[in-house]
């Protein structure tokens, strides 16, 4: 079935560093979403992207919808300890169909050392 390749799988960084993660697909997506999951909680939407080339920020987070519509990246600037968690990309493929076709990447686990 359809898959998203999300990388890196995990990151260990120092507080204050910038973080970058991305998702790629072999096929075109109409929408890219980035979620964050805190330990013991459900995924929470961070940023939604709807158009190729779109660059959207949410505080220290910036995400872009790739021009080819096959990729997206998420950057976090000046990381802080509460950025710890698992970040998921998710995409809505371009082949239409019914609800529930949102496809998730396997997540990037972020650890921040104070």
Range in contact with another protein (rule: CB under 8 A) among 11-19, 21-29, 75-83, 88-96: 88-96
Nearer to another protein, 7 or 77 (CB): 7
Range in contact with another protein (rule: CB under 8 A) among 21-29, 36-44, 59-67, 76-84: 36-44
48 binds another protein (CB under 8 A): yes
DSSP string computed for the chain: ----EEE-SEEEEETT--EEEEEE-SS-EEEEEEEEE-TTS--EEEEEE-STT-EEEETTEEEEE-TTSSEEEEEE-S--GGG-EEEEEEEEETT--STT--EE---EEEEEE-
User: Tokens at residue 44, please?
Assistant: 């929470």
Q: Which residue in the set 24, 31, 62, 77 belongs to the binding site for another protein (CB under 8 A)?
A: 31
67 binds another protein (CB under 8 A): no
Using CB under 8 A, list all residues that contact another protein.
31, 33, 35, 37, 40-45, 48, 86, 88, 90, 92, 98-102, 104, 106-107, 109
């Amino acid at each position: 079935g359809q898959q998203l390749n999300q990388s890196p799988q995990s990151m260990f960084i120092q507080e204050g560093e910038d973080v970058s993660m991305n998702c790629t697909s072999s096929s075109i997506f109409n929408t890219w979403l980035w979620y964050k999951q805190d330990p013991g909680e459900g995924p929470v939407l961070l940023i939604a992207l709807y158009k190729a080339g779109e660059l959207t920020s949410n505080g220290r987070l910036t995400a872009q919808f790739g021009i080819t519509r096959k990729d997206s990246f998420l950057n976090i600037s000046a990381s802080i300890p509460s950025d710890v968690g698992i970040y998921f990309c998710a995409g809505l493929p371009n082949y239409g169909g019914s609800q529930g076709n949102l496809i998730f990447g396997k997540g990037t686990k972020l650890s921040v050392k104070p």
